[in-house]
């Protein structure tokens, strides 16, 4: 009986010890003040998919006619030049606010400097017909601008090993973008003269939520005095669309203006058949309404988009505020 009582006393004492340790841990955690705030500045490098505007440039440059001439070098045709797509690679500087909500959950709100890409390239097609050579030259000046006014990511802290922390995060943001293009087509007929058409669009996407998501892996190393060195890999997936703006057409024949039109609308992506060279390729234009019929035999019409899918690397410092 005495042995049983000693066993019960030992269990009761062990229980009290457990309760004391649990209470001590909670007391220690209560001493840690949450939320905690940190300021960060970072360097970004990465890429985006770009998408529709490059699809149009590549589709025109590599259409069936131009591809055939390049590969077979027929006596009746020549191609000079290449239409170049826009680069998706970028570098940027970022600022952010990190908030540790509790030992496991954190929130980051950040922004970065704008990403801009533009270029100009041209292609000339010579058609040697029975009455002479017709020269058709195409100039493209495309551009995009992308701004991340607000991106937010929720992190879950997976592990802490001494001064090193590993976390995984998911998030999204607000995105502002511009898509623009200048397209000039010049035709010199066999008997001389000049036919010139300049078709432009300049569009914007307002900073509203879209179906774009981030998956992040974050590592932090504590340097001391409330300063952390962090590195982050981010996989972004999604597109932004609904670009709205203006379009214009200036049509000249031998320096005489035959048409000079401007309009507003939505930017559309579509496939078209070009009656001048007899091939199909992708194109983008601003329309105030979708045309019911066209000499270009339009197909697969939809709203144009900018593809943000890509991978980025961010390195920087995180400094505790208070």
Confidence of residue 5 (pLDDT cuts 50, 70, 90): very low
| Tokens coding 186 | 């010049």
| Cβ-Cβ contacts under 8 Å for 160 (sequence gap 6 or more) | 166
Q: What gap in Å lies between CA 239 and CA 237, rounded to an integer?
A: 7
Q: What is the pLDDT of residue 36?
A: 92
Confidence (pTM): 0.84
Residue 209 banded pLDDT, cuts 50, 70, 90: low
How high is the pLDDT of residue 32?
A: 59
Checking if the pLDDT of 2 tops 70, the result is no
For residue 148, name the pLDDT band (cuts at 50, 70, 90): confident
Label the pairing between strands 115-118 and 310-320. Answer: unpaired
- Per-residue pLDDT for 210 more than 80? no
How far apart, in Å, are the Cα atoms of 234 and each of 146, 201, 230, 231, 242?
17, 32, 13, 10, 25
Would strands 244-253 and 310-320 be described as parallel, antiparallel, or unpaired?
unpaired
Question: Which ranges of 2-85 does DSSP label H, i.e. alpha helix?
Answer: 2-31, 52-61, 64-72
Element housing 268 (H / E): strand 256-274
Q: Counting beta carbons within 10 angstroms of the beta carbon of residue 229, is it exposed (0 to 12), middle (13 to 18) or buried (19 or more)?
A: middle
Q: Average pLDDT of 221-229? A: 93
Kindly report, residue by residue over 249-304, the tens digit of the pLDDT.
999 999 899 999 999 999 999 999 999 999 999 999 999 999 887 888 999 999 99
Q: What is the DSSP string of 115-169?
A: EEEE--EEEEEEEEETTEEEEEEEEEEEEEEEEEEEEEEEEEEEEEETTEEEEEE
56 in Cβ contact with 283 (< 8 Å): yes
pLDDT of 10 strictly over 70: no
Which of the four pLDDT bands, split at 50, 70 and 90, describes residue 11?
very low
Mean pLDDT, to the nearest integer, of 70-79?
96
Percent of the residues in the chain that have a pLDDT greater than 70, as a whole number = 90
What does pLDDT average to over the chain?
89
pLDDT for 6 equals 44
Closest Cα partner for 218 from 60, 98, 76? 98
pLDDT score for 268: 97
CB 221 within 8 A of CB 229: yes
Between CA 148 and CA 244 the distance in angstroms is 18
- pLDDT tier, 15 (very low <50, low <70, confident <90, very high otherwise): very low
Assign 322 to helix, strand or coil.
coil
**Is pLDDT at 30 greater than 80 in this prediction?**
no
Residue 308 neighbours by CB distance under 10 Å: 24
Q: Return the number of other C-beta atoms located less than 10 Å from residue 184's C-beta.
A: 16
What are the Cα distances from residue 303, in Å, to 218, 267, 296?
Answer: 35, 6, 18
Distance CA 73, CA 77 (A): 7
């Amino acid at each position: 009986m005495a042995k049983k009582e000693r066993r019960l006393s030992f269990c009761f004492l062990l229980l009290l010890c457990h309760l004391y340790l649990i209470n001590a841990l909670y007391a220690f955690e209560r001493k840690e003040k949450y939320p905690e705030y940190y300021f960060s500045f970072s360097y970004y490098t990465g890429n985006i998919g770009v998408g529709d505007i490059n699809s149009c440039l590549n589709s025109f440059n590599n259409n069936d006619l131009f591809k055939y001439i390049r590969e077979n070098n027929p006596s009746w045709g020549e191609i000079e030049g290449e239409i170049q797509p826009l680069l998706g690679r970028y570098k940027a500087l970022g600022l952010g606010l990190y908030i540790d909500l509790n030992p496991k959950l954190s929130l980051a709100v950040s922004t970065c400097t704008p990403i801009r890409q533009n270029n100009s390239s041209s292609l000339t097609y010579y058609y040697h017909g029975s009455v002479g050579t017709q020269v058709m030259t195409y100039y493209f000046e495309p551009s995009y601008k992308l701004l991340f006014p607000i991106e937010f990511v929720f992190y879950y802290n997976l592990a802490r090993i001494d001064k090193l922390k590993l976390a995984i995060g998911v998030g999204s943001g607000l995105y502002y973008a511009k898509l623009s293009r200048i397209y000039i087509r010049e035709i010199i007929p066999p008997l001389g003269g000049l036919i010139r058409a300049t078709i432009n669009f300049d569009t914007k996407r307002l900073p509203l939520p879209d179906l774009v998501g981030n998956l992040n892996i974050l590592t932090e190393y504590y340097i001391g005095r409330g300063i952390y060195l962090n590195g982050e890999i981010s996989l972004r997936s999604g597109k932004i669309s609904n670009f709205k703006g203006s379009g214009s057409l200036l049509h000249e024949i031998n320096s005489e203006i035959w048409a000079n039109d401007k309009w507003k609308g939505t930017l559309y992506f579509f496939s078209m058949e070009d009656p001048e060279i007899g091939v199909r390729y992708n194109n983008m234009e601003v329309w105030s309404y979708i045309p019911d019929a066209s000499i270009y035999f339009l197909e697969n019409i939809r709203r144009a988009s900018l593809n943000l899918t890509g991978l980025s690397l961010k390195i920087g410092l995180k400094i505790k505020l208070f």
